[in-house]
Structure 1
Amino acid sequence: MPHARRIQPGPIRLSHWANVPLLAILAASGLQILAAYPMLGPQGVPYDWYPFQGTPPPAWSRLGGWLAGARHWHFAFGWFFVLNGLLYVAYLFASGEWRRRLFLPRRDARNALHMAAYYLRVRKEAPPQDPYNGLQRFAYTGTLALALVEVLSGLTLYKPVQLHWLTSLFGGYDPARSVHLLVLALLAFFTVGHVVLVLLHPRTLGEMVTGGKRHE
């Protein structure tokens, strides 16, 4: 089979596993940066909706030791995260994998609803998938969108004056800071859900390690 390829091609697997240490380092160093000023909102006018005003993240969850050290970790590995994401997206479109992996509403919306109903025990049988179902495609595509927002809000915090147009897009420095933390929480929530689904379907873990069987 001259055109046979694995379910999980090598570049996909490499990018997937590279994200594990990258996101862990970025999350821990970001929480250390937050600990330097554990408030959200303008000084003197904190946001009412944030329940942890003045409470720094626990020490075990932080990396960098102090503000400057955490910033060095965060910005250094942030660029590796951006590079990894760019290489992943470039491979998706260069190889045509985007057709199999990205959420296309006309193709995947109904399947995603059926899969959600199956997980909620409303539907008895799982809908078909090859190799992903619509709900998985929706989750993965949404994660790419969240990663883009996380990078853009991070750039806003990094250069709020030089990138004033981007700062304005987020509504200012303090809203961008809130968005950055909120998206971190959403990515963490996705990671937990991802792990749960892998435990429910352990075959997918083996495919992400070995690539799985070859197919047309």
Structure 2
Amino acid sequence: MARSAQPPLIRVTHWAHAILFALMAGSGLQILVAFPLLGPRGQPYGWYPLQGARPPAALTIGGWLAGARHWHFAFAWFFTANALVYLVYFFWSGTWRERLFLPRRDARNAWETVLHDLRLRKVPPAPVGLYNGMQRLTYTGVLAIAPLLVASGLAMYKPVQLPRLTAILGGYDAARAIHLLVLAALAVFLVIHVVQVALHPRTLVDMTTGGARREVEA
């Protein structure tokens, strides 16, 4: 049986997530503008170097606190639903086998890929299926930390209704810090992702059109 390198549902949820993530990040940063300090009032976290720094207006969505909250909470449900659709298909279809990082298969390839991208290795590593080891490692890392984004968001949104979740995350202020840290980590991933796409533009074509079809077991 033949199928595209990037199945239709993977492509649809990928681009939907790109749009939803931009909306969530922009509205979240606008919410941060209202109180750009981390930690309990009067007791800021010493490790946070941007205490009081407001995000650039060009990166925010919503215009003001209430407007940003409307955007954020409305699209949060679409963001979560889209992620659930993706994850169900991801595991049900067996797609996880070719996308998740498996150390025995991918560790050496990931290291050699880094060396090649840094121009410290002349010969590119031999391909291991659709993705290289570094792509699988970063992809798996995103899937590992993304649930923290949802959990910390719920802890802030409903701290009274979900006291156990809020307590597990260290309280409201800690949940807020976790939420922002995960956003920062995903932003770093996004930058690396865009750079990698620029270096390998064929991946953009594949994620848009589906790419070359290949034979898979029925």
**TM-superposition CA deviations, 1:149-206 (whole Å, max 9, x none):** 1111111111112212211221111111111111111111111111100111111111
Name the amino acid aligned to 2:145: L
Matching residue of 2:119: 121
CA–CA separation in structure 1 for the residues paired with 2:83 and 2:172 = 25
Q: Which runs of 4+ in 1 moved over 4 A?
A: none
Residue 111 of structure 1 deviates from its aligned partner by 1.6
Indicate which of 80, 83, 100 corresponds to 1:82: 80
Picking from 101, 108, 114, the partner of 1:103 is 101
Identity %: 62
In 2, the alpha carbon distance for the partners of 1:144 and 1:128 equals 25
Equivalent-residue separation in structure 1 for 2:14 and 2:35 (angstroms): 32
Look up the match of 1:208.
207
Q: Give, in angstroms, the shift of residue 26 of structure 1.
A: 0.4
**Separation in structure 1 between the aligned mates of residue 111 and residue 50 of structure 2, nearest angstrom:** 35
Distance 1:165 1:125 in 2: 52
Asked if residue 73 in structure 1 is aligned to residue 63 in structure 2, the reply is no
Alpha-carbon separation, structure 2, partners of 1:181 and 1:93 = 28
Aligned residues: 214
- Are 1:144 and 2:120 counterparts? no
Alignment correspondent of 1:16: 14
Shift of 1:107: 1.8
Q: So what's the TM-score if we normalise by structure 1?
A: 0.95
Any unmatched runs of 5+ in structure 1?
none
Give the CA deviation at 1:66: 1.8
Q: CA deviation at 1:73?
A: 0.6
Give the equivalent residue in structure 2 for 1:35.
Answer: 33
Question: Any residues of structure 2 matched to 1:158-173 within 5 Å, and which?
Answer: 158-173=157-172
Question: 2:86 and 2:126 mapped to 1: Cα distance?
Answer: 26
- Residue 53 of structure 1 aligns to which amino acid in structure 2? Q
Which residue does 1:182 correspond to in 2? 181
